[in-house]
Structure 1
Amino acid sequence: MAPAPPRTRQWLPYTAAVTAGLLVIAGAFVLVRQRDADAGRADCTTKLEVNSSTEKAALLVELAERYNSSDRSFDGGCAQVHVSGLTSGKATEALAAGWSGTGLPEPQVWLPTSSLWTGQLRLLDRSAGRALQTPDQYPSIANSPLVIAMPQPKGELVRRRGPLGWGEVLGLSGRDGWAGFGRPEWGRFTFGKDNPNLSTSGLAATIATYYAAVNRSSDLTRSDLADPKVTGFVRRIEANVSHYSDDVVDLLRNLAEADLAGGGAGTEDMSAIVMQEELVHLYNEGGLSPRQQGEERGRRPNVPLVAVYPKEGTFNLDHPFVVLPSADEGQRAAAADFLAFLTEDDQQQSFARLGFRDHERRAAAGLLASVGAEPAGGLTYFEPPDPMVVEAMLDGWSTLRKKANILIALDTSGSMEAAVGERTRFQVASAAAAKGLALLNAEDRVGLWSFSSETKRSSAPYREEVRLGALDQKRINSRIADLHVEGGTALYATVRAARQHVLERYDPARINAVVVLTDGKNEYSQDNNLAQLLADVALDPDRPVKVFCIAFDRESDFATLNRIAKVSSGKAFDATDPATIDEAFVKLVSSF
């Protein structure tokens, strides 16, 4: 039996630390549980456990309850369906490990976001020498193609140019910015996408880029990935990434908040986002806008998004219905009946209200009215590559993606001596930082500062520990291990100075960022003006330096860190429960 490629074992644990699917309908969750089954179905002896990817899990819970309260029967019997939700990456790993450690019932039916995950599970099963759990192709219950989403004025301008390809929109346009489209006042062209190691949509976007590079819609091969023309095409597109996201839904929520507040610097450096068509609809309908208590959806944005469909074609997220080998004969019959139920008009309309295309890839009129008309003649879809090609693609992407210029500021105030179990806060944070550094690219540039306040050891609140330069993981880890913890928390002074330090060493070919790890709030009386800090670190669209923060432990001022991050178009990660700090670092590193 052929061994699995090394990447397979590396990639899935990486995704297991974060959200691999998109968290849309019921907010930011990883696990979803259906309430206890209706007592009215107690006569049904067949129990069917279904596990769904999280972006549609809340809807599947609703549809399962609708199914359970119906009078459906098959083969003289009936079934109770129970739905739980887990991100596609976590579910893939759990199925490969015998479904241990999830705390959820073992499923007989699996509903991941994409058939890409069934391919990854096949690789893991082959590697373990066991029978394949997902050997076949599977029917879809809903679909959502990948699109390039732009604010309406920009999207309509691009669409008026006629059919354009991935490279023409995301690559070549970056040389002159919007001047190439006759609007130099719009500045440079950058776009956002999810990290393909963490996100189904990010992976689909990367696959679509490779297919556009070879000018085919199927049969992508490893030799294609090694072609210098192909790698050059992909590198040119990646060079225009503003920064990578661990969850595009968070990015869209921030965009909606800024839009409804009348605009804001936090989104001005991003001209487009590569994501599912479904999310364009959800955004435009107010599904990702801030909500008042009791509201199902927020206000529609002032400036909606427009979907641009590249001329070469696009990748489709097919939401397969997978019956697993764990299903017995009765459960297989129940699964067939539940699949038939999900593809009936009433249930398909429920998917359509959330922006999905139906199980046969047809778009409802309301969807196209919301996101923009598709090309004449319909869409061309790329075929999913062989799973081995996907793995090779991810290996290659690590060298082609945009590199980073990062200054890490690590809190060394006295409060970091507080105990977290048998370790101190500083020891827990240091260990997490070391794991995060290991996930960076060897070509990234990284520096390290420590900060607290003036102490006997230093007359400045922040200190350069490792100069910003070529990543030297061993040296940074060694320097962190030697740091002394004392003093207060000079948060504002450090963030301002660190941002200025990176700005003075700005590299337009890289993602330029400051990373702040702190367990507290600003305690430095000499610099205590938050309004001035927010003005000082606000995003400069021409020379963006983004601030990313990790709020460590419950004493952290997460609300303030979140404001600092947002105004710079960065992101704050909540690790106020120290047990989540490793996960926060993996999410943060996915931005670079």
Structure 2
Amino acid sequence: MAPSATRTRQWLPYTAAVTAGLVVIAGAFVFVRQREAGNNCATVLQVNSSTEKAALLVDLAERYNRSDRSIDGGGCAQVHVSALNSGKATEALATGWTHTGLPQPQVWLPTSSLWTGQLRLLDEAAGRKLQTPDHYPSIANSPLVIAMPQPKAELLRKRGPLGWGEILGLSGRDGWAGFGKPEWGRFTFGKDNPNLSTSGLAATIATYYAAVQRSSDLTRDDLADPAVTQFVRRIEANVSHYSDDSVDLLRSLAEADLAGGAGSTDDMSAIVLQEELVDLYNTGALSPRQDGQERGRRPNVPLVAVHPKEGTFNLDHPFVVLPSADDRQRAAAADFQKFLTEGDQQESFARLGFRDHEGRASAELLASVGAEPTGGLNYFTPPDPEVVSAMLDGWRTLRKKANILIALDTSGSMLAKVGTRTRFQVASAAAGKGLALLNTEDRVGLWSFSSETKQRPNSPYREEVPLGEFDEKRVNSKIAGMAVNGGTALYATVRAAHRELVDRYDPQRINAIVVLTDGKNEYSKDNDLARLLAEVALDPQHPVKVFCIAFDRESDFATLDQIAKASSGKAYDATDPAKIDEAFVKLVSSF
């Protein structure tokens, strides 16, 4: 749901990763604990940062705390940094910062001013004093780009300047044949879900701007224009699947590249993301590393940042001083903001692939990601927050639809207790929350699986709801009525479900299998993992992806991860059952 005058968007959590000294921050939020600098400053400044730069901000805050700087009025300040993704922080600030487990911030450092606009909209709707009424200075910048493997980017550039629609929407079904490379297959691309990710949100807005052929003043009337709707729908139709974390996507791509494989994202011709991630990928920051290494090997095939001719969006990383700051904290915030924009600190941002606080790219960055267009980049002006809200409301109906076959483990171990409920009850509740996020135009089927039982004597799996028009009540009713017993027939079920999706493949939809299990394969009649991995291996012409949730500590997450990666899907670690709701939300947001 989008924020409006009467309701608040339920910003969904997602896993984010950040490389700063190659520290990874994962989860809906992380509190970053810092070393104490040893001084006794009376003023404490709590800073909350978006996750992609939080580890760097921790280092810079420590550097600040060790310095001999003084703030206006005398004395010094201690800066402490916590981390929360920008969408989740927007929700927390709009609801009093409760239930985060993090200190109340006086300074907020989201990824983009898009979020300050959304918070302003939520405050207006609630009749509260505005927390983000102004425009704010940047501490770093990173434009949105279309990242493509170098050979594909170079071929595309030979056509001259191309727009968002020509790159992401024109080729579609004809694919690379229109560029003289039929062996490269269809043209599909990856993007983050705009409800989860700043880059996904910016990519969606950029698509609308390209549709209206303007760089500013997008209106709600524009969103309702049938020609605009058709343009956006055509681009969304070429999405391979919606990622909850483009960093994970790039890590998988780097791993496959260095292993000499075709790549777990081989069905994608491009990924829409922020420029800084292209640099991190190309410099080995997202590659597998040996112990003690700061970075891994550089990929064999680098990515190139392609800039659409209409322009792009800039993620401006604003420095926001919140009303919760008192006078001393405001003075400390002003000094910390000045500190972050000074040379040594800006060099630290540059080493992570950011442009400086005035939007300038270093020569090293451009050498890594590719040159800018002659004359530099054109940037879209952010729309009014009300337009962004309406856009996200409409995106739910315009996004690419899915064929989803859900396979739910009903083996006897699902009767084990998690607190006062059984594993099956916890999993069923999580599945219900995830199903509520699907589009009514999706097609959904439901299977149950275990070894043969009295209720299912002839097969380790059973079709509970045929793949077809999504009927949420029917699916939930079937889940509630399932019998739980037997062993875990994981391989046989995944194999059969994959065959079913291949047979019923729809090129106009995301075709995916969702497997939820609390165990490992216990079915002696089918115990051949190598054959299963070969059978589910991604066919770029007819991609069927397997997404797995490893539920409870008895789950064989390593094997589920192998199965998912073979198909270019993803495995979600919910071996702590408390995380299953979050895992299901992330998974469903891929469709």
User: The TM-score by the shorter chain falls in which range?
Assistant: over 0.9
Structure 2 contact 282–302 (Cα < 8 Å) conserved: yes
Aligned counterpart, 2:55: 58
Aligned counterpart, 1:565: 564
2: CA distance, partners of 1:74 / 1:107? 19
2: CA distance, partners of 1:230 / 1:585? 32
Aligned counterpart, 1:189: 187
2: CA distance, partners of 1:265 / 1:46? 51
Give the CA deviation at 1:8: 5.3
Change in Cα spacing, 1:36 to 1:106, as seen in structure 2 (3 Å) is farther
Q: SS of the residue aligned with 1:33?
A: coil
Change in Cα spacing, 1:219 to 1:359, as seen in structure 2 (3 Å) is same
Change in Cα spacing, 1:95 to 1:14, as seen in structure 2 (3 Å) is closer
After superposition, where does 1:409-428 map in structure 2 within 5 Å? 409-428=407-426
Give the CA deviation at 1:4: 6.1
Which amino acid in structure 1 is aligned with residue 322 of structure 2? L
Aligned counterpart, 1:489: 488
After superposition, where does 1:257-276 map in structure 2 within 5 Å? 257-264=255-262, 266-276=264-274
Which of 386, 389, 413 aligns to 1:388? It is 386
1: CA distance, partners of 2:65 / 2:353? 25
Structure 2 contact 14–245 (Cα < 8 Å) conserved: no
Which amino acid in structure 2 is aligned with residue 80 of structure 1? Q
Change in Cα spacing, 1:174 to 1:6, as seen in structure 2 (3 Å) is farther
Is 1:126 the counterpart of 2:124? The answer is: yes
Aligned counterpart, 1:455: 453
2: CA distance, partners of 1:102 / 1:408? 32
Change in Cα spacing, 1:7 to 1:14, as seen in structure 2 (3 Å) is farther
After superposition, where does 1:271-290 map in structure 2 within 5 Å? 271-290=269-288
Aligned counterpart, 1:556: 555
2: CA distance, partners of 1:457 / 1:86? 47
2: CA distance, partners of 1:281 / 1:357? 11
1: CA distance, partners of 2:4 / 2:19? 33
Q: SS of the residue aligned with 2:171?
A: helix
Give the CA deviation at 1:99: 1.7
Return 5+ residue gaps in structure 1 as ranges: none
Change in Cα spacing, 1:4 to 1:570, as seen in structure 2 (3 Å) is closer
Is 1:49 the counterpart of 2:58? The answer is: no
Identity %: 79
After superposition, where does 1:85-96 map in structure 2 within 5 Å? 85-96=83-94
Q: SS of the residue aligned with 2:78?
A: strand
Aligned counterpart, 1:145: 143
1: CA distance, partners of 2:405 / 2:19? 32
The superposition leaves residues 11-51 of structure 1 with CA deviations (integer Å, 9 ceiling, x where unpaired) of 3x242x334x6544421423132324311x32x32221111
After superposition, where does 1:276-355 map in structure 2 within 5 Å? 276-355=274-353
Tell me the TM-score normalised to structure 1 length: 0.97
Change in Cα spacing, 1:4 to 1:52, as seen in structure 2 (3 Å) is closer
Give the CA deviation at 1:253: 0.5
Q: SS of the residue aligned with 2:474?
A: helix
The number of residues matched between the two structures is 584
Q: SS of the residue aligned with 1:193?
A: strand
1: CA distance, partners of 2:437 / 2:100? 25
Give the CA deviation at 1:264: 3.3
2: CA distance, partners of 1:88 / 1:268? 30
After superposition, where does 1:515-534 map in structure 2 within 5 Å? 515-534=514-533
1: CA distance, partners of 2:345 / 2:99? 32
Which amino acid in structure 2 is aligned with residue 242 of structure 1? S
Aligned counterpart, 2:434: 436
Which amino acid in structure 2 is aligned with residue 583 of structure 1? E
2: CA distance, partners of 1:409 / 1:103? 35
Aligned counterpart, 1:467: 466
Q: SS of the residue aligned with 1:233?
A: helix
Is 1:236 the counterpart of 2:234? The answer is: yes
Structure 2 contact 139–356 (Cα < 8 Å) conserved: yes
Q: Which moved more, 1:182-191 or 1:141-150?
A: 182-191
The superposition leaves residues 499-552 of structure 1 with CA deviations (integer Å, 9 ceiling, x where unpaired) of 100111110000001110101000010100000000011011111110000111
Structure 1 contact 266–538 (Cα < 8 Å) conserved: no
Structure 2 contact 11–88 (Cα < 8 Å) conserved: no
1: CA distance, partners of 2:534 / 2:325? 59
Structure 1 contact 446–468 (Cα < 8 Å) conserved: yes
The superposition leaves residues 429-482 of structure 1 with CA deviations (integer Å, 9 ceiling, x where unpaired) of 111111111100000000000000111221100000001000001111111111
Change in Cα spacing, 1:208 to 1:194, as seen in structure 2 (3 Å) is same
2: CA distance, partners of 1:586 / 1:166? 29
The superposition leaves residues 205-261 of structure 1 with CA deviations (integer Å, 9 ceiling, x where unpaired) of 000100011111111000000001111110000000001100001100000000010
Give the CA deviation at 1:345: 1.1
Structure 2 contact 414–518 (Cα < 8 Å) conserved: yes
Which amino acid in structure 2 is aligned with residue 572 of structure 1? A
1: CA distance, partners of 2:431 / 2:11? 15
Q: SS of the residue aligned with 1:361?
A: coil
Structure 1 contact 8–391 (Cα < 8 Å) conserved: no
Q: SS of the residue aligned with 2:546?
A: strand
2: CA distance, partners of 1:240 / 1:99? 38
2: CA distance, partners of 1:354 / 1:57? 12
Change in Cα spacing, 1:280 to 1:486, as seen in structure 2 (3 Å) is same
Which of 52, 64, 68 aligns to 2:65? It is 68
Give the CA deviation at 1:294: 1.6
Change in Cα spacing, 1:163 to 1:284, as seen in structure 2 (3 Å) is same
Which amino acid in structure 2 is aligned with residue 138 of structure 1? Y
Give the CA deviation at 1:317: 0.6
Is 1:115 the counterpart of 2:113? The answer is: yes
2: CA distance, partners of 1:487 / 1:82? 52
Which of 14, 35, 45 aligns to 1:18? It is 14
After superposition, where does 1:159-174 map in structure 2 within 5 Å? 159-174=157-172
Tell me the TM-score normalised to structure 2 length: 0.97
